[in-house]
């Protein structure tokens, strides 16, 4: 029996935040609805980072207030610090949402240079803050997930030693994070490195406590996922349609597309709880919101197939 | 020690033939030159299919006459039948090219429906013709490679039984083909199927006699390549920039991009003999010839990186 795989959908936050076009809250919520309808059980929906840093996510309160609620569906919201945590807790309270429905996601990088550019402090300083923030979130009934960026390589420092990633991951788990999602932020990872990193981690922690957040910048995301599956991981992050470009290379791919991931998983016989036609419909809507062709290959194949079938369907009548 | 991997470049034939824009012979030869400069040792360069079927390849004689010649570089030309073989031999003779420099590639499908659409005969009829054609080519000093399409699935018949692919492959090898390249023509293969198919074949034939020709329609090409590498295969087909769309889904991806393949191989420590910056330069030229953004992710990442660096370089002065 293959294990059930959890697909962690990051499109409505990570995806839309990195798209050029502003998406109104109503459209964001409609996309979240379509993703929930398609059977995604984990959806990153909002960010409580200061709106002055990330204006695109300034509607976090409104989004949280209007999140569709259903059995088995958990959302995630980014929480950068104590102030963000208080904002999130107020938003949940005024929406009447139990803490169990929205996890808090904390984030940092494995490399100092990237962490300083993103968070204006060293990795060690970030970890010190998390030593207060994570227990505070847990005390308020939230579950906490951690995103660890640049876990393969840093755009400023190059390759990151797997043992450094292991050490940070173990500290995050020890703080009480239920899972650490390892990000290949610039999408340069290849399967050999991924196997080394994952095997090192799994020599120390259980597989359900590690997720892979692969970027498809060089087209290797699914090959890395395959290595993760072979090693026993069961959670993978992805973004509908591949929304959210690579910030270091305009026009290049960033997030792994959810449709590509789910196509691979279903083709290999893994259960995901996701309905394929409804997922493709969500991808088409994401493409409308982004206002440009999204990089996900399976999405484009399905759209192309429909165009071809519609053309073929016209032949007999025409 | 990892084995050396052979990348079989199909862009100048398979790629360009499936692009909408006509590419003059001189531009085709320039692309071939760039690919040879980048270190590709196998380049599919021409087709001796009747020009009335495939006008884009009607310049086969001119291309063969002007092929760059260098040590260790072998070309491939498609040969559909005895007439195509005679045309190829005449072209080689008038160009003064030894038979050892250009292999003949024969082709058929694993499924009857696809073979009938493509070649107007059953698979069994194609195999009967090849029983005469392959020995005739061998007798004239050519080496013969075989392309077996729809080896995972047929657009008309659905999934193809691996044992059928095995049986046809063994017949082709018994005829004297040095290698059979298995094509996932509609790009639907996933790693579980690929492992079954490859392991079945490798229980009967040596790894160097099997190549994988993956399409990236659903983004799974490199994950399938990884399975092939894990099983011990050493030859993979790809097209520069991912040229050559999926004929069944307009706008969708077809051939695996050479840059994506080589990025994966180099990242895993495999030797290919290929120079990365020169390969990217060839990809950029292929994109100019195609006249549209090619789907290869690594190519777009490298182009994007350069754009970003050029932009960053302007900052201090601006």
Are B218 and A263 within 8 A, CB to CB? Answer: yes
Whether pLDDT at A122 is above 70: yes
Model confidence at A312: pLDDT above 90: no
Write down the pLDDT at residue B1: 66
**Confidence (pLDDT) at B80:** 97
In this prediction the pTM is 0.93
Q: What is the pLDDT of residue B318?
A: 28
Architecture (CATH level 2) of domain A6-317: Alpha-Beta Barrel (3.20)
pLDDT of residue B311: 75
The two beta strands, A144-149 and A179-183, are parallel
Query: Which residue among A218, A264, A297 places its CB closest to the CB of B190?
Result: A264
Distance, in Å, from the CA atom of A149 to the CA atom of A145, rounded to the nearest integer, reads 13
Confidence check: pLDDT of A316 > 70: no
Contacts of A220 in chain B (CB under 8 A): 222, 260, 263-264, 267
> What's residue A1's pLDDT?
66
Express each pLDDT in A42-74 by its tens digit.
999 999 999 998 888 999 999 999 999 999 999
Cβ under 8 Å to B: A residues 128-187? 187
- pLDDT per residue as tens digits for the range A160-202: 999 999 999 999 999 999 999 999 999 999 999 999 999 999 9
Percent of chain A whose predicted confidence (pLDDT) is above 70: 97
The predicted model gives A224-243 an average pLDDT of 98
> A219 vs chain B: nearest CA distance in angstroms?
5
CB atoms within 10 A of CB B179: 23
How far apart are the CA of B50 and the nearest CA of chain A, in angstroms? Answer: 27
| pLDDT of B238 | 98
Angle among Cα B209, B278, B231 to the nearest 5 degrees reads 25
**Smallest CA–CA distance from B293 into chain A, residue:** A251
Contact B190 A267 (CB under 8 A): yes
pLDDT in tens, A126-160: 999 999 999 999 999 999 999 999 999 999 999 99
Beta strands in chain A (DSSP E): 6-9, 42-47, 74-78, 102-109, 144-149, 153-154, 158-159, 179-183, 210-213, 235-238
Q: What is the rounded distance in angstroms from the CA atom of residue B46 to the CA atom of residue B174?
A: 25
- Tell me whether residues B219 and A193 touch, CB distance under 8 A: no
Taking the domains of chain B in order of start, what are their residue ranges? 6-317
Q: What is the pLDDT of residue A3?
A: 84
Residues of A tagged active-site: 246
Residues 6+ apart with CB under 8 A from B211: B6, B8, B179, B180, B181, B182, B233, B235, B236, B237
Cβ under 8 Å to A: B residues 219-278: 219-220, 222-223, 225-227, 246, 248-253, 257, 260, 263-264, 267-269
Q: What is the pLDDT of residue B313?
A: 55
Q: What is the dihedral of CA A282, A285, A286, A292, to 10 degrees?
A: 140
Contacts of B213 (CB under 8 A, 6+ apart): B8, B10, B147, B181, B182, B183, B184, B236, B237
The residues of B assigned a catalytic role are: 246
Residue B277 is encoded by which pair of tokens? 């910056």
Rounded-to-integer distance, Cα A297 and Cα A278, Å: 16
Mean pLDDT to the nearest integer, B188-199: 98
Q: Which of residues 275-304 of B touch A (CB under 8 A)?
A: 293, 295-298, 300-304
Check residue A121 and give left, alpha or beta (phi > 0: left; psi -120 to 50: alpha): beta
pLDDT at B252 over 80: yes
Q: How far is A57 from chain B (nearest CA, A)?
A: 25
pLDDT at res. A307: 85
Which of A297, A304, A310, A311 to mutate: most B Cβ within 10 Å? Answer: A297
Contact B222 A223 (CB under 8 A): yes
CB A216 within 8 A of CB A295: yes
Q: Is the pLDDT confidence value at A107 over 90?
A: yes
* pLDDT at B122 exceeding the cut of 60: yes
For B101, half-sphere exposure in the C-beta direction (CA atoms, 13 angstrom radius) is: 19
Q: Flag whether pLDDT at A11 surpasses 50.
A: yes
In angstroms, the Cα distances linking B264 to A129, A300, B11, B224, B255 are 37, 23, 18, 12, 16
With contacts defined as CB-CB under 8 Å, which chain A residues touch B295?
297
Judging contacts by C-beta atoms under 8 Å, the chain A residues touching residue B219 are 216, 219, 222, 257, 260, 263-264, 296-298
Beta carbons of B190 and A268 less than 8 Å apart: yes
Give the pLDDT of residue A69.
94
CB B294 within 8 A of CB B243: yes
* Residues B119-145, mean pLDDT to the nearest whole number: 98
CB contact under 8 A, A193 and B217: no
* Interface subset of A 92-131, CB within 8 angstroms of B: none
pLDDT, tens digit, 9 for 90 and up, residues A281-309:
999 999 999 999 999 999 999 999 988 88
The CA distances from residue A173 to A202, A301, B214, B281, B294, in Å, are 13, 39, 40, 45, 42
- What is d(CA A109, CA A111) in angstroms, rounded to the nearest whole number? 5
In chain A, whose CA is at the least distance from the CA of B265?
A190
Cβ distance of A297 and B269 shorter than 8 Å: no
Distance from CA of A155 to the nearest CA of B (A): 11
- Per-residue model confidence as pLDDT tens digits over B208-247: 999 999 999 999 999 999 999 999 999 999 999 999 977 7
Q: Which of B225, B268, B301 sits opposite A249 (nearest CB)?
A: B301
């Amino acid at each position: 029996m293959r294990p059930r795989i959890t697909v962690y959908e990051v499109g409505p936050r990570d995806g839309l935040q990195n798209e050029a076009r502003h998406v109104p809250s109503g459209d964001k919520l409609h996309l979240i609805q379509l993703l929930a309808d398609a059977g995604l059980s984990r959806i990153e929906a909002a960010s409580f980072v200061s709106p002055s840093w990330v204006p695109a996510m300034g509607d976090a309160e409104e989004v949280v207030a209007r999140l569709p609620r259903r059995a088995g569906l958990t959302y995630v919201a980014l929480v950068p610090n104590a102030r963000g945590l208080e904002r999130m807790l107020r938003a949940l309270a005024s929406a009447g949402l139990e803490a169990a429905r929205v996890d808090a996601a904390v984030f940092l990088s494995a490399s100092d240079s990237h962490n300083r550019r993103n968070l204006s402090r060293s990795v060690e300083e970030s970890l010190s803050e998390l030593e207060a923030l994570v227990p505070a979130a847990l005390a308020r009934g939230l579950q906490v997930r951690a995103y660890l960026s640049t876990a393969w390589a840093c755009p400023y420092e190059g390759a990151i030693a797997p043992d450094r990633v292991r050490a940070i991951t173990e500290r995050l788990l020890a703080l009480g994070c239920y899972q650490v999602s390892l990000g290949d932020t610039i999408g340069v990872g290849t399967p050999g490195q991924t196997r080394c990193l994952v095997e090192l981690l799994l020599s120390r922690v259980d597989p359900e406590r590690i997720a892979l957040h692969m970027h498809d910048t060089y087209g290797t995301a699914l090959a890395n996922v395959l290595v993760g599956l072979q090693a026993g991981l069961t959670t993978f992050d992805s973004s509908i349609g591949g929304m959210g470009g690579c910030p270091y290379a305009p026009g290049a791919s960033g997030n792994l597309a959810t449709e590509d991931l789910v196509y691979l998983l279903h083709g290999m016989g893994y259960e995901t709880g996701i309905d394929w036609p409804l997922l493709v419909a969500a991808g088409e809507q994401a493409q409308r919101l982004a206002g440009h062709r999204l990089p996900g290959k399976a999405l484009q194949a399905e759209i192309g197939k429909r165009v071809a079938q519609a053309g073929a369907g016209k032949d007999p009548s025409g």
